[in-house]
Amino acid sequence: MRTRPLLAAALVLSALAGASAQERAPQSDSIRKDDLRADLFFLASDNMRGRLTGTPENMIAAEWIKARFERLGLAPAGDEGSYFHSFNLLTATLGSGNRMEVARDEKATLQLASGQDFHPQRFSASGQAKGALVFAGYGIHAPAQGYDDYRTGSMAGKVVLVLDHEPGERDPTSRLDGVVTAEAANALRKTLAAQSRGAVAVLFVADVHNHPGPVNFEAAARAYWPDAPPRIERYTLAALMEQVRIPAAQISPALAASLVEPTGKSLEELGRAAEIAGGFTPIALQATVDITTSVNRHVVPDRNVLARIEGADPKLKDEWVIVCAHYDHDGTDGTRILNGADDDGSGTVGLLEIAEAYVLAAREGRRPRRSVLFAAWNSEERGLLGAWAYADRPLVARDRIVAVLNMDMIGRNEEVPEGGGNRFRGLDIQTAESNRNAVNVIGTARSADMKTSVTRANASIGLELKFRYDNNVSNLMRRSDHWPFLQHGIPALWFHTGLHPDYHTNYDRPEKINYDKMEKVARLVYQMSYDLAQQPGRPALDAGSPAPTAR
């Protein structure tokens, strides 16, 4: 009668095997290279003229994506029951009357010239401020990463002088995101940090101890505020820029050197002293700064395209998995059309195919347990602005976003040529053939759960997953739309088949796409999103990452 225990054991093993086996995402085979190709030959055609932010072709692209979502029968997920999530960008022009003077004592006052000794930052508020000058190192406030240059007290009524960039910028072990530029090192973020501590103005200067060499400040000022408008406008997210209420200006290293003289240390020596764990202790300088800035802000409307499929689980349907890509590119340069087939036409059409697979599965009664948001972001090339607009002010509760899967350049084989120049900085020389079945997955260093999930999803796909660019001087980690969500404590990955010589040129055309591989990448993202939408638990960020915050 020993057959019964053996049978029971066999049944237990069978049940365990079934529990650990992956459920194949339904309708995965509906994601086909021929459909991807047909869509991309439209979206990246010459007639779309590179889909630059603010152009008619960019607006047509948004309407086309919206029409595709609508035709699929997906519910709108934008503002007031629409498919569009609207937000504003700002551009800036230099106003008149910018001035600055520095008083060392009652007898010594320096009258400084705009464009020679200083210039306003584009994000600066217009206004006048006067206060005692304080040197605050890098001016970084990043308590979640164990660093704060303002931890010793208030800057109320002070004008703060801070260095560009960040401490440990070449140190892979830096707590400020290793060699990746930390978000807290952004000049606008530094301005908001100083403002929150009561500062009345912020002055920036080059960190000459890390970046030595001759600086032609006047030439740099002319380039920053050119007489003729640039081919591509310099945009800032309005909701962020409007938070800046104080003057912010860049000053020349020569001026900064004279301002720090009373400390008995050079600007280089103070810069090296600011390379300190935990943050710098601000130093009062023997000067009073009176500054007036005039910057004209111009509003530019913008929009993302959003659709959703509601989850089937009564408890989990209020949680969200976001699948996304960006639809904008760099427009035209004279007679050259920057088609942006790979960047990011490829991710956009992949998004449409994944959305269709979810719809087809729902029609056969296989709706995911969690809800899925399909997001086509705009203005990624201008600074991830569409994604930032949503991550900062989402239309669903931020702490209900389980994960973000971003596709940006999923259609080529990574190729880094010898002598490829600065745009390949930090990347090993490699051939396209060596990456013919590879996809970079960026962001797993923040979440072991997400790495496990993508590895599991790939079991039925068979791509070569490469986890190599999370801590790299190429800054790839922060160069796509997953980054704003990571900053808000949401697990997020970027699927990226890599840079290549056609990147951001007129040779990034749809006929050069590897459609077989692109089909596999889209199926991988679909499988992982489906897994995340089905599983009882949700992935977590690792210790030391920002915690999710409610809207």
- Distance of alpha carbon 449 from alpha carbon 299, whole angstroms: 41
Alpha-carbon span 74 to 314, nearest angstrom: 19
Structure-block tokens of residue 85:
């999530």
Residue 544 lies in a domain: no
Average pLDDT over residues 355-367: 98
Query: Distance between CA atoms of 446 and 442, rounded to whole angstroms?
Result: 9
Q: What is the pLDDT of residue 196?
A: 97
pLDDT at residue 5 in the model: 38
Instruction: Quote the pLDDT of residue 215.
Output: 81
pLDDT at 213: 80
Last residue of a domain, one of 293, 328, 356: 293
Same domain assignment for residues 49 and 172: no
> Does the structure show a pLDDT above 50 at 3?
no
CATH number at residue 208: 3.50.30.30
In a domain, 265, yes or no: yes
Do 471 and 348 share a structural domain? yes
Question: Burial level of 152, CB count in 10 A (0-12/13-18/19+)?
Answer: exposed
Asked if the model's pLDDT at residue 547 lies above 60, the reply is: no
- Inter-residue contact 200 to 129 (CB < 8 Å): yes
The pLDDT of residue 65: 98
323 and 267 in one domain?
Answer: no
User: How confident is the model over 58-65, as a mean pLDDT?
Assistant: 98
Does residue 463 sit within a domain? yes
pLDDT digits (tens, 9 = 90+) for 22-49: 799 999 999 999 999 999 999 999 999 9
Q: What's the pLDDT at 449?
A: 98
Given 231, 265, 293, the domain boundary residue is: 293
pLDDT tens, 230-270? 999 999 999 999 999 999 999 999 999 999 999 999 999 99
Using a pLDDT cut of 70, give the percent of the chain over it.
95
Domain annotation covers residue 550: no
111-138 average pLDDT score: 98
Give the domain CATH number at 310. Answer: 3.40.630.10
Q: Are residue 140 and residue 259 in the same domain, yes or no? A: yes
53-81: average pLDDT: 98
Q: Are residues 278 and 136 in the same domain?
A: yes
pLDDT reported for residue 415: 98
Instruction: Name the band, by pLDDT with cuts 50, 70 and 90, for residue 207.
Output: very high
Res. 2: pLDDT tops 50: no
- Cα-based torsion angle of the residue sequence 197, 199, 202, 207 in order, rounded to the nearest 10 degrees: -50
Mean pLDDT computed over 366-379: 98
Going by pLDDT thresholds of 50, 70 and 90, the confidence category of residue 105 is: confident
Confidence of residue 543 (pLDDT cuts 50, 70, 90): confident
72 and 146 assigned to the same domain: no
CA distances from 396 to 55, 136, 539 (A): 29, 38, 18
How many domains would you assign to the chain? 2
Residue at 355 is within a domain: yes
Query: 429 and 383 in one domain?
Result: yes
User: Given pLDDT bands bounded at 50, 70 and 90, which one contains residue 15?
Assistant: very low
Q: Collapse the DSSP code of 299 into the 3-class scheme (helix H, G, I; strand E, B; otherwise coil) and give the result.
A: strand
541 falls within a domain = no
Range of the domain at 41: 27-90+300-534
Convert the pLDDT of each residue in 86-95 to its tens digit.
999 999 999 9
Is the pLDDT at 414 greater than 90? The verdict is yes
Q: Which of 244, 274, 293 is the last residue of a domain?
A: 293
**pLDDT, tens only, 310-338:** 999 999 999 999 999 999 999 999 999 99
Q: Is residue 180 part of a domain?
A: yes
Pairing of strands 159-163, 201-205: parallel
Q: Are residues 159 and 272 in the same domain?
A: yes
Question: Does the residue 165 lie in any domain?
Answer: yes
Task: Say whether both 222 and 323 belong to one domain.
Answer: no
- Is residue 336 located within the same domain as residue 417? yes
CA-to-CA separations, 419 to 25, 224, 429, 497, in angstroms, rounded: 43, 28, 9, 21
Residue 546 has pLDDT above 80, yes or no: no
pLDDT value of residue 1: 39
Q: Residue 408's pLDDT is what? A: 98
Q: Are residues 52 and 107 in the same domain?
A: no
Q: What is the pLDDT of residues 165-190, one digit of tens each?
A: 999 999 999 999 999 999 999 999 99
Q: What percent of the chain has pLDDT over 90?
A: 91
Between the alpha carbon of residue 245 and those of residues 93, 120, 200, 456, 546, the distances in Å are 17, 13, 9, 48, 26
Residues 86 and 115 in one domain: no
